[in-house]
Amino acid sequence: MQNHNYYVDSKSKPNRLINESSPYLLQHAHNPVDWYPWGNESLLKAKNDDKPIFLSIGYSACHWCHVMAHESFEDEEIAKVMNEKFINIKVDREERPDIDDIYQRVCQLATGNGGWPLSVFLTPDQKPFYVGTYFPKQSRYGMPGFETILNQLSEAYKTRKQEIYSATGEFMQALSNTSKDVQYRGENVKIDRSILDEAAIGLLQMGDPVYGGFGQAPKFPNTSNLLFMLRYYKISSISRFKEFVVSTADKMADGGIHDHIGGGFARYSTDQKWLVPHFEKMLYDNALLVLLYAELYQITSSKRYLHVVQSILDYVIREMTSPDGGFYSAQDADSEGEEGKFYTWSRGEIANALGNENLANIFCEHYGVTQGGNFEGKNILNIVTSLERLSEKYNMQPTIIQQIIKDASRKLFEIREKRVKPGRDDKILTAWNGLMISGFAKGYRITNNKKYLDRAVNTINFIETKIANSDGRLQRTFKNGISKLNGYLEDYAFYVNALLDVFEVYSKPEYLEKAITYTNFMLRHFWDDNDGALFLTSDDHEQLIVRTKNFYDLATPSGNSIAASNLLRLYYIVQNNEYLEKAERIIKVCARLAADNPFGFGQLLISMYLYIQPPVEIVIIGGTNNKEDSQSISNWLNMQFIPNGIICVIKDKLQLEKLQKYPLFKGRNLDEENKSECVFICKNLTCSPPIFSISELEKHIRTSHN
C-alpha cells in the first residue's frame, strides 16, 4: 500500500490501528484522533465511560473519505473534541460488510441516501441516533460543520438522553422492518415468464436512450442489469434489449471511465456521458465487466469486445495480483494527493512523447485531446473520432491508423509507468476474488488463452491453501500472510459460483466437490428456516444489533441472488432436491419486487431466468487428439452465447470415473480408441444420443429456447 500524504503524527495517544491489516485503517493510524478498531475493547469502553460512539466507515480507495480525513481527522482541535467526548471507531466496509449494511440502512432511512464515508453516532449499546455521510469541517454545501455536530451531539447525550434513546428506538423499529419490507414471503407467487417480461420492459424504460446506462449522474455500470437484458434478448428475440446493452457497453468503452492506456474501468462516471470518472478502480467492477464484454463478443463476434476483455484481464494480472495468487481489492483515485493525476495528460506531454506532430494529431483527435483539456486543464482520454473518420481525413488505411494509435498508446503507457502510482488496497477478499476467478474463466472461454485459465486455477489454489478451513468454512480477508474474519454470505456464494465456472471449462472433480461442500455449509449456517432465504452472516457470527439479509443487486450482486443461481446449477448436476427447493424460496422472496423495481434485482432476475428457462446440460467427452484445435467442438461451444447452458468438458478418464457418482455424468464413457469429441445434450431430464459434429450440435442448441 503506498502511503498517502495526509497523516499527522500524534505521540500523545495510543496507536490502536497500527497493527491492523486493513489498508483503510492503516491510512488513519497516525491521525490525532484516538481511533479504535471495532471490537470488545472499544464497545466495552463506551459502556464503562458512558460515552457515545462515533463510528466512521469507509474504504481505502474512497475519495471523499480522504477529503474528510484531510479536513477533520487530521485537525488537532477537532481530534481533541472527538477524543474527549466520544469513543471513535474506524471500520473498513470491505472487511465488515455486516456492520456497514446495518448502518447504511439507517442512513437511507434518515436521509434517503447512503455512501461513504459513513458517519454514525451510536449509544454505547451500538444503537444509532444520528447519521450522515461526508461532513465538511466548517458549515458549507448546505451541511452543518463537523465540529458543530460533535459538540451538539455530545451535549445532547449528556443533557437530553431521553431524546437520544427515543431516536434510537425509532431507528431500531424502522431497521427491524427493512428486511420485512424487502422480503415478500411469496408462498403463492408463481415464478413465470411474465415477471421477466415486466422487469425487462421496466429496465428499458429506466435506461438512458442517448448515453446508455441508467439514470443521470453519477452513472455506474450496473452490470447485473445489463447481463439480465442480454438474457431477456435471448429468450424473447426482441433486438431492442440487445441494442441497448451494446450502446451502453460501447459508450462506456469509448468513455473516460475506461482506462484506454492501461486497461480496466473506474468505479463510476461523475457525469452522464461516461467522460469524467471517479478514478478509483475496484476489482469487482472489472470482474463483472469482463462477463459483460465477453458475452457481447459471443453474441456479436466484434473483436472490439474481445480486446476490452483481454485488456481488463491483463490489467488485473499486472496490477492487482499478489505473489501468492490472490487478487487485490482496489486502486485509489488519487496519487501525490491529486485525484486523477496518474491518468490525465496535457496536449504537450503527448506531442513530446510521440515526437511527431502528425502522429500526435491522429492520436489526439482519436482521444479528444485538446490544448485546454477536458478535466481541470488536463485531458482524460476518451474516443471521440472513429478510425474510419481518421482514415478518410489522413488518407490512410484504417489498419494503419489503428497501428499508429496502438504504438502511441504503448509509448504513453511506458511514460505513465514512471509516474507515482495511485495507492493500492492490497487486502484480498474472498468474495471479490470469486468474481474475478469467474472473469478469468470467462476470458479463457472466449480466447482459448491458457494463461487466463491458469490464473483462475492458481487463485482457487490460493484460496484453498490460505483462506479456507478444512471444515468447509471460508475466511473473509487475507493480508500479510494472515486470513481472518468468518466469511459472509457473499464469500460463499461468489466463490461457489467461481468453482462452478472453472469446473465447466476444466472439469476437475475437486472443484465440483468443493462447491457442494461450501454450499452445504452455507445452507446449514446462513439459511432462515422461518422466512426463507439466507442471512448476511452465519449463525455463529458476532451478534450485532440486527441480523440482516441482503437482496439488492447493486455495485455487486447480492449473496442471495448468486446463491440461487448456484443452487439451480448444482441441482441439475447432482439432482439434490433441497437445492431446487431452496433456490425457489430465494427467488419467491423477491420475485414480485423484482418485477416492480427491476433496477435493484438484476442478478436475481438472471437466477429467475435460469429457473424459468431450464438449463441445457452439455457434456463433452474425449477429444484428446484436437484439444488445441480452434475448430474443436468444445472451443466452438465456448464461443456461443448459451446463458442457460451447463457445459462440462472432460478429457481425462480418471476425472470421468470420479464424476460418475453424479447423475449428470452417470453412464458416460470415454472411448480411448476414438479420440474425437463426443457430446451429450440433456434438457428437461432427457438426453440426446451422442453428437459428433458442430453442425449437429448447433441444431440441438438452436432449439434450446423453444
Whether 343-418 shares its CATH topology with 616-649+657-702 is answered: no
Q: What is the predicted pLDDT for the residue at 666?
A: 86
| First and final C-alpha spacing in the chain | 53
Q: What would the CATH number be for the domain defined by 193-335+425-612?
A: 1.50.10.10
User: Rounded to an integer, what distance in angstroms lies between the CA atom of residue 681 and that of residue 700?
Assistant: 8
The string of DSSP codes covering 576-631 is -HHHHHHHHHHHHHHHHHHHH-GGGBHHHHHHHHHHHS--EEEEEEE-TTSTT-TT
Closest C-alpha to 118, from 95, 144, 92, 139: 92
Q: Which of 330, 324, 329, 327 has the alpha carbon at shortest distance from 466?
A: 324
Residue 433: the pLDDT is: 98
Q: 444: which residues sit within 8 A by CB, 6+ positions away?
A: 450, 452, 453, 456, 505
Q: What is the pLDDT at residue 190?
A: 87
CATH class (in words) of the domain with range 616-649+657-702:
alpha beta
Alpha helix segments (H runs only) across 417-508: 430-447, 450-466, 489-505
Q: If one looks up domain 343-418 in CATH, what number appears?
A: 1.10.10
Question: What is this structure's pTM?
Answer: 0.94
So what's the pLDDT on residue 631? 58
Separation between Cα atoms, residue 525 and residue 522, nearest integer Å: 5
- The residue ranges of the chain whose pLDDT is under 50 are 1-11, 626-627, 630
For residues 664 and 619, is the Cβ–Cβ distance under 8 A? Answer: yes
What is the pLDDT, as a whole number, of residue 103?
96
What is residue 6's predicted lDDT score, i.e. its pLDDT?
36
The per-residue pLDDT for 21 is: 81
**All 3 cell numbers of residue 551?**
437482496
| Helix ranges, 144-217 (H) | 146-159, 161-182, 193-206
Vertex 181, ends 598 and 431: CA angle to 5°?
60
Closest CA to 378 of 390, 392, 368: 368
| Residue ranges per structural domain of the chain | 23-182, 193-335+425-612, 343-418, 616-649+657-702
Please give the CATH topology (third level) of the domain spanning 23-182: Glutaredoxin (3.40.30)
- DSSP letter string over 52-92? -EEEEEE-TT-HHHHHHIIIIIT-HHHHHHHHHH-EEEEEE
pLDDT of residue 141: 75
